């Protein structure tokens, strides 16, 4: 059993950011894979040639707005495909969210209502994306101040989406933790309602505190209570890869390496 777990040990990596470039090109042993943000390379996909040498790549999208009814934005999809073509990722990922409507581009992630209409939109868009890129698609849970109710619970929606669109789940541990605190539900119960085999990849970074709620500013060290939830997930699901999602405080490389060590230590103990 121990040997099996070692063999199934997930790869640990980090979200590629320009501020980390020099460190990542020194090939730190703690980084086994990288996730690039597709939009950062829309203007220069060739820049991925050097980054590919660092480790296995996953491509993560922010702006395809899979939750917007109607066709996907053709220009964004074409740019996304060019990045995928250059990166040769094992899988690609986007969010269970919308970022724009026909009238306005909000630029950031917003929740969708878990109903049959949204499910159909997501299934159609996810399949279209997978076909266009020739890759498996993972979809990520977001954090939001809005908690929308629909015909389905959030977990029913995600399970049904994975089943119908033949996609996997990129479970953002921090988003789950923040939503659970802000909207007062049990994250472990939520987790156990998700089909474990669908959880392929994780995102994690320390949460931030505002006056009234927790927030995802992507710049804090991983806190112990968040790590407890991470540990629960690692016991529950056969995760293939974990990405530390830092968007700031890049000068604190020792803090980033410490976070990577914390994740590694969990795998050794599970």
Partner 1 sequence: MPASDFTTVLARLLSESALRAEFTSSKERVLGGFELSRGDREGLLGLDACDLELQAQALVTKRRTEVASLLPDTFALLGIERSAALFAMYAETNWPDTHRRHLEDAVKFGEYLQRVGAPVSESELNLLRFRLQGRHFSVRVIEHATAKRRMRSALQILIRIGSRQRSAILFLGI
Binding site for partner 1 (CB under 8 A): 39, 42-44, 47, 63, 67-69, 76, 79, 98, 100-108, 110, 112-113, 115, 117-118, 144-151, 213, 215, 217
Residue number with CB closer to partner 1 (71 or 107) = 107
Residue number with CB closer to partner 1 (215 or 257) = 215
| Three-class DSSP category at 30 | coil
The distance of closest approach from Cβ of residue 250 to partner 1 in the complex, given in angstroms and rounded to an integer, is 12
Helices vs. strands in the chain: H and E counts, helices first: 10, 12
- Distance (Å, whole) CA 231 – CA 258: 17
Residue number with CB closer to partner 1 (46 or 228) = 46
The distance of closest approach from Cβ of residue 268 to partner 1 in the complex, given in angstroms and rounded to an integer, is 36
Q: Does residue 27 contact residue 257 with C-beta atoms inside 8 Å?
A: no
Q: Does residue 162 contact residue 137 with C-beta atoms inside 8 Å?
A: no
- Distance (Å, whole) CA 28 – CA 41: 23
Residue number with CB closer to partner 1 (122 or 230) = 122
The distance of closest approach from Cβ of residue 175 to partner 1 in the complex, given in angstroms and rounded to an integer, is 13
Token pair in block for residue 11: 């790869």
Q: Name the strand (E) or helix (H) holding 215.
A: strand 214-220
Q: Does residue 125 contact residue 158 with C-beta atoms inside 8 Å?
A: no
Residue number with CB closer to partner 1 (146 or 268) = 146
The distance of closest approach from Cβ of residue 80 to partner 1 in the complex, given in angstroms and rounded to an integer, is 10
The distance of closest approach from Cβ of residue 22 to partner 1 in the complex, given in angstroms and rounded to an integer, is 13
């Amino acid at each position: 059993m121990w040997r099996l777990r070692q063999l199934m040990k997930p790869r640990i990596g980090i979200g590629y950011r320009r501020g980390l470039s020099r460190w990542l090109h020194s090939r730190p042993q703690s980084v086994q894979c990288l996730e690039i943000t597709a939009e950062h390379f829309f203007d220069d996909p060739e820049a991925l040639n050097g980054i590919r040498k660092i480790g296995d790549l996953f491509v993560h999208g922010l702006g395809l707005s899979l939750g917007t009814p109607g066709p996907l934005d053709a220009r964004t999809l074409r740019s996304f495909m060019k990045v995928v073509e250059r990166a040769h990722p094992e899988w690609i990922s986007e969010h269970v969210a919308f970022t724009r409507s026909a009238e306005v581009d909000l630029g950031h992630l917003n929740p969708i209502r878990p109903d049959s209409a949204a499910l159909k939109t997501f299934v159609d868009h996810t399949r279209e994306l997978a076909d266009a890129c020739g890759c498996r698609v993972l979809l990520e849970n977001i954090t939001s101040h809005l908690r929308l109710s629909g015909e389905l619970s959030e977990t029913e929606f995600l399970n049904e989406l994975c089943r119908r669109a033949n996609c996997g789940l990129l479970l953002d541990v921090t988003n789950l933790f923040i939503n659970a605190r802000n909207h007062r539900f049990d994250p472990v119960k939520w987790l156990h309602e998700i089909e474990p085999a669908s959880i392929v990849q994780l995102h994690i970074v320390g949460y931030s505190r505002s006056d009234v709620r927790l927030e995802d500013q992507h710049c804090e060290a991983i806190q112990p209570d968040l790590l407890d939830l991470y540990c629960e997930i690692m016991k529950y699901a056969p995760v293939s890869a974990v990405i530390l999602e830092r968007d700031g405080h890049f000068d604190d490389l020792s803090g980033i390496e410490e976070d990577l060590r914390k994740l590694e230590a969990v795998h050794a103990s599970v």
